[in-house]
Each structure stands twice: as C-alpha cells, then as structure tokens.
Amino acid sequence: MVTEKKSTVTYRKWDRGAMREFSEEVTIVRMDNDKITYAMGITQEGYLLHCYYGARIGDDDISYLMRLPDHPFTPNGNNRDRLIFMDSRAFEFSCPGTGDYREPCLMVMDEDGMSTCDLRVTGFTVKKGKPALKQKGVSCIPATFASANEAETLTVTLEDSHLSLVVELTYTMFAKLPVITRSARAINKSYSDIRIQRLLSGCVEWDRSDFDFITLNGSWARERAVAREPLHFGKQSVESRRGISSHQHNPFAALVSHDASEEVGEAYGFNLVYSGNFLAQAEVATSGFTRFVMGINPFDFSWLLRPEEDLTAPEMVIVYSDCGIGAMSRTFHDLYRGHLIRGQWRDRMRPVLINNWEGTYFDFDEEKIYQIAKAASEKGIEMLVLDDGWFGKRNYDDCSLGDWVVNENKLHGGLKPLVERINALGMKFGLWFEPEMVSPDSDLYRAHPDWAIQIIGRDMTQAREQYVLDYSNPEVREHVYGMIRAILDSANVEYIKWDMNRALSEVGSTALPRKRQRELWHRYVLGVYELQDRLTTDYPYLLLENCSSGGARFDAGMLYFSPQIWTSDDTDAIERLKIQYGTSICYPASTMGAHVSDCPNHAIGRTTPFATRGDVALMGTFGYELDVTRISEEDRCAIPGQIEKFKKYNPIISAGDQYRLGNLFEDDSYDAWMFVAKDRSEAVFTFVQVLNKPSTPSRRILLRGLDPDRDYRNEDTGEIRSGKTWMKGGVIVGAFGDFVSRTMHFKAV
C-alpha cells in the first residue's frame, strides 16, 4: 500500500547569462489502494511537497507532478530566488516565515519572540494497522481505528533544526475505502520553551480551483443546512469560536467539481474528529492553485511546549469520490460505522424509547412518569428516558445544575423504586444529565465558585442562567464523575443523554497558570473526552447519546464515545427533512437521534400527520418525544405499527447504503430517500409530499442502488420489475395532501 521510489529530476535554466543543467534526486512516497492514490515528494533539501490525491493512478514515475523542471526558482539550482519557490509549492504541511505567504498549518513562537519555522524531512516509517493518537498526559484522543489487515499508516518526521522542534505527520490509508486520515504531532526537542500558536491537522493542495465549496451551517433548530458556493480568489472558511463544534457550522467541508451531483462528479470531503473550536478553510492563490487546511481553530489559541512535551492535533478525515456527492457520503457512513463508533451498541438495534421532556417539561412526579411508562409499554415502547428536572431543586432551568442528587420531592425514595417499577413493565430506564454545567443557584457553585470558567475580576456571562464548569481542572472532573457514578450505582440506569446547553465565554481558568490560559479551549474538550471515555469504560453496557441544545455538537469526536447524537431540538417532521438531509452528507442514519413528537410541534407550531412523523423518524434511531397518555386514541393506536415498521426496516437503514433522491434545498415541494441493503437484496424507499402543487398530479422518482440484473417486488403493491427498470423508469408516487408520506419496501425475487 505504501511505496517509495527514488527519481532524478533534470532540468535546464539560464543562470548568470548561460544555460545550465541541474539535477535533483527526489523521493516519491505514495499510498495506494484499489480506489485512490495519495502521493508526496521529498526534495533533495528535505521539503515535503504534495504530488497527488484522487482516483487510483498507474504505477509510473510521478515525480514530474512536483513540477520541479518547470520552475526556474528551485532552491537547489537557484537559491537566489528561494522566496518565489516557497510561495508557489504545494507543501504537505505549510509553515510561515521562509516565503510561503499562504495559510500555514503550524505557527510557533520561540523564547526570542521569533515565529519563523522551516521543517525538513528526517525520515519516515510504515506500520500495519492504525495506532491510536497519543499525547503525554492525555488519556484519550478520539480517532478512527483499524486492524493490521484493514489499514496501513505512514509517519513522516520533519524537524526545524534551528528550533529543535519535531513534527510527526501521520497518514492512514484504509484498504477497502477511498479514505485518508491525517494528524500532526509537535514535539519540543530543545532545552527551551516553544509556544505553539497553531497546529492544524493537515493540508491538501490542488493545481486548480474549479471547485464548489460545500459546508453545513445553521443555528439552533436549523442545524446543518447545506450551502454551496464556487471557490473564488482569496479565502473561504467555516469555523467555530464557541468552544463546541456548534449549531452555526459543522466541522465538515467538501470541495466538489462544478458538475458534481449525487451521482456524478468529483468530491473531496473533509471532517475533523473534534468537538471544539475548529477551522476549515479553502484558499485560492493568485496562481489559481487551491490550498485546503483544517484543524483546531487558531483563534485565541496557544499551547506552551516545555522541553520533551508534545501536542497532538485532532484527526482529519479525507474522503474522495469520482461518483458524486452521494458516494462520498456513503464512504463517510461506512468509515464511521465500522472504524469510529465503538462499544456494545455500535451494531445493535437501539431500543425504542420515549422521552418525557416535550410531554411534561419540569412538571412531573414519579407517578406521572410511571403512568407514561405504563401506557408506553402497552404499545411496545421499550425504554423510558427521564429528562431534565429529576435532580437538586430543579423545577425550572434556573437552578441546581451541578447538584446531581435525586429531587425526592418529585421522586419519593429516590430513583431505585421508580426504576424497579419501570423495569417490572419490561422497560429499560434512561436518564438526562448536563454534566458540564453549573447553576449559580446550586450547592456546587456555592461551595466551589472557582470551578466555573471565568476571568477573575470580570462579570460572568450567563446563558440559560448557567455557567460552564472548568473541565481542564482534574478536581472538577473527578467530583462530577463521582456524582454521576453514585446515581448510576443507585439504580438500573441503562441509557444516558449527555446534554450541553451553552457556548463558552470569559474563557479563563483558576486552575491553569498564566502561561497556559489560552490552552483552556482545547483542554476543556480533552477533559470532556476523558470523562466520556471513563464513563463508557466503567459502564460498557450504557447506551450514551450526546446532545448539545440539540445538534450543536454533532461531530465525529462525539461519535467515538456515543453511537448516536440528538440531531436537533426541532422535532417537526418537515423541518427535520432538511436537518437530516444535511446531517447525512457526512454522518450515517444510525447516529441520528430522531423521535416522533406531539403536535402542534413545540418548536414551530406546525401540525403534521402522525404517520409522516413516524416515517421521518425512521431515518434515525427512532423513538417518541411526547406524553403517550395525552395524545389522541388514533395516534396512540398507530404506535405498535410504527414500532413494527422500525424493527422491520432498521437493519437496512442503520447498516445499508443511503441514497438521497430529493433535495428540499433545491426543490421545496417534496423529499425522498432510500436505503439499500449491502447485498442489494432489499431496499426501503420513503417519499414525503411537502407542498402539493396542482400542476404536479403525480411524481416519477428514480430509485438508486439496486442490482440492475435482479428483479424486485414492491411489497406494498406487488409489482415486480427489474432493478434496471426501477432505476431508469422509477416509481410513480400519486398526488396527495401536504405533509403526507409513503414508505415502500422492495425485495429481490
């Protein structure tokens, strides 16, 4: 998979009035599988240049792609014009100060206040499999994983000899997927302190700029809306400066050819396995070449590296497709389902749950919760999740965060009696926590006001009347985990919804020294990772669902610890169409928390058919967000059928290939999608009529992903046609009212 080849590059140029011939020995290092090639070149002076990334190419000498013969300013032959060379080469890991004026991956500050860095290759190693990312003093850095026969990992070591700073670039290629993952690790080998001011995860360059830039943007209740704009000269970026990956921008971006659609065209997808501040940026230089960088946002960031200390950048996932955006998405889905999500629940069907939040908010006691559970169990629902309000003195969102002890005014005798009654119904029990937060009105804050993130002497900004706990402080993490553990050990809790409801502000720590204050953004995220890793290690049977005001932390870093994430607080079925469409660009359906909620919807007030709400929630983990005792008898009686449909189709939806057949961002009248089993033996197709336009009496939707040479029966109508006919001729969906859905099941015969 990894090969090395020495080449001699010869070229001629005018030098001091005469034509001279120069030669340079270069090393080409390339990584190949059946689908893609990633290649880089090492110049005679030790510069690491990018050569190629894309569809698999031949095993030829590709040193010409370094463009050394074409360039009269190669330092080896013309050192007097080194500056021009540095500002025009495709560097694998760019640094400032020696002539590259484009966006750098690494910025440092030495003890003399100097920021120049000049990295040269000192060697490389190749290993089977994929080693975990490591950093001294850090217990867990989320990243993809692979066995020895599933991947190969290349580590290129570079060094700035003046600073004695070593940077290790790690590349992993998966054997059966068109995927490269990248990370970087900086190590201080000097006797002096070095301050890292930015350490991005990687850089990819192209000698072209004819791309569209796709990003996933939005706000609370409108997460991951798809935006697509052509590249232009200068910089285009998305980022978070909120301490979380955010509602506003997801740590995903793609560069796609102008003609790219779901089925055709080139697509390069990028995703950062990280849950904090990030930057994803494309830059078109005056040459017309494009540089893409991604990593921890350098805004307000620095990290002090004392001698022999290290800093590891998060993993950057890079996916290539020459069969359109849909194929790119399916690669991300396969990678994350097989090589990122861990634990006992990764490949298991999730229990159908009911969450009481939209049904009761804070107004409940143990009897009301039990009655909801009892009515739900009679309809086949398998788990009751008790949401906010069960702890401290919590009757509204103005107190008690941080006091993770049972509110016995609501739950007399604690959790155990209630959980035992619910278990006796044959149901599992789950619980909501918000472990990263503290209320000013709480016993924890009164005892430890210094444990909140703050800048001494400045007013602390509240959001939802709460502050953020300083997870860089090990005392805070230990105390919070002790409270969670006491609750889990007190009753049979089998699910946790981990929420996080505000961004960071006044980012300072009473536990960190002055020289390390700007490390807090990143240390906070590492602290969250440590606690979630500890939780899932100590309680491996737990089903953990992450949440952040809905979908503000829907990222690959969180998926390393939880197999599912609450997709959005907006549970309206029609709004969810766009939200789930955008999420599916990068993340698989098995990770999307999706529930049937009551109507009028609590977020936007719309009323949609109960059946449509069920069909839309099937494209996710499936559950209910309502008080089953208060909905209509008609809707209540529909629940067993919806659960039966979920159990029948979920194996295909959670493990199959997804095809997006509609796009509400381009046509607001309908949406459609389908999931096809990996062996193409069956498929599930769903259509939702959003606006019934009089001029469109019926629609013909072309199916995708079927075997063209096999026959398939539409199990709903009995029609049998070849896969080729279903895909070329399509299925006719008759006209019906607004917000009405249809789901069809196709089986090979």
Distance CA 539, CA 150 (A): 28
Cis ω before 298 (30° cut-off from 0): no
Q: Contact at 8 Å (CB) between 642 and 626?
A: no
Please, where are the H alpha helices in 258-391? 324-339, 357-360, 366-378
Measured torsion, CA atoms of residues 64, 70, 74, 76, in degrees rounded to the nearest 10: 60
Distance CA 172, CA 166 (A): 20
Burial state string for 378-416 with b = 16 or more CB within 10 A and e = fewer than 16: ebbbbbbbbbbbbbbbbeebebbbbbbebbeebbeebbe
- Identify the burial level of 286 via C-beta atoms within 10 angstroms of its C-beta, where 0-12 means exposed, 13-18 middle and 19 or more buried: exposed
AA identity, residue 522: H
Judged by DSSP in three states, 589 sits in: helix
Using CA of residue 128, residue 133, residue 134, residue 138, what is the dihedral sign?
negative
Burial state string for 221-230 with b = 16 or more CB within 10 A and e = fewer than 16: bbbbbbeeee
Residue of 212, 499, 627, 671 with catalytic role: 499
The DSSP string of 634-668 is HHHHHHHHHHHHHHHHHHHHHHSEEEE---TTT-T
Distance CA 89, CA 68 (A): 9
User: Which residues make Cβ contacts (< 8 Å) with residue 46, sequence separation at least 6?
Assistant: 120, 121, 122, 158
User: Which residues make Cβ contacts (< 8 Å) with residue 338, sequence separation at least 6?
Assistant: none
- Helix, strand, coil distribution of the chain in percent, nearest 5: 20, 35, 45
User: Which residues make Cβ contacts (< 8 Å) with residue 150, sequence separation at least 6?
Assistant: 129, 130, 174, 175, 176, 339
What DSSP character marks residue 313? P
Find residue 566's DSSP bridge partners: 593
Helix (H) or strand (E) holding 154: strand 151-160
Is there a catalytic annotation at residue 388? no
Residue of 569, 627, 635, 671 with catalytic role: 569
Using CA of residue 442, residue 447, residue 448, residue 454, what is the dihedral sign?
positive
Is there a catalytic annotation at residue 671? no
Identify which of 203, 230, 236 has the alpha carbon closest to the alpha carbon of residue 90.
203
Cα-based angle 340, 343, 349 (whole degrees, multiple of 5): 100
Distance CA 439, CA 433 (A): 13
Phi, psi of 498 (to 5 degrees): -95, 110
Distance CA 706, CA 714 (A): 13
Distance CA 328, CA 269 (A): 7
Identify which of 341, 530, 343, 498 has the alpha carbon closest to the alpha carbon of residue 434.
498
Q: Provide the 10 A C-beta neighbour count for residue 512.
A: 16
Identify which of 418, 402, 403 has the alpha carbon closest to the alpha carbon of residue 365.
418
- Active-site residues, by number, are 499, 569
